[in-house]
Amino acid sequence: MLGFNSLGIINKDKQYLYNSPNRITRMYLVKGDKIRVLKEEKDEKGDTWYFISYKGRKEINMWIKADSVDLN
């Protein structure tokens, strides 16, 4: 399990954000974007998800698939 406020970088060209695990939105992050992981959760299939904070023009707090993040 991750420590609270772990830093990470998006490792996919385009990774969609989710309102909740498995509820996709139109928003996405791109490779190299820096995020802060606030929470980790596994879904019913055993996939790992991170609840993240991203600060761009405004702060975004949403879910993202864990395999799209490289942790520092």
For residue 58, tell me if it sits in a domain. Answer: yes
For residue 23, tell me if it sits in a domain. Answer: yes
6 to each of 23, 25, 47, 65, how far by Cα in Å?
23, 23, 19, 15
For residue 63, the SS3 value is strand
The reported pLDDT for the residue numbered 4 is 67
For residue 49, tell me if it sits in a domain. Answer: yes
| pTM assigned to the model | 0.90
CA distance 41 to 49: 5
| 35-55 per-position pLDDT tens digit | 999 999 999 999 999 999 999
Instruction: Decide if 8 contacts 68 (C-beta within 8 A).
Output: no
For residue 1, tell me if it sits in a domain. Answer: no
- The tally of domains found in the chain comes to 1
| 1-38 per-position pLDDT tens digit | 555 689 999 999 999 999 999 899 999 999 999 999 99
For residue 57, tell me if it sits in a domain. Answer: yes
Point out which residues pair with 14 in neighbouring strands: 30
CATH code of the domain covering residue 32 = 2.30.30.40
Q: Domain residues for 48?
A: 6-71
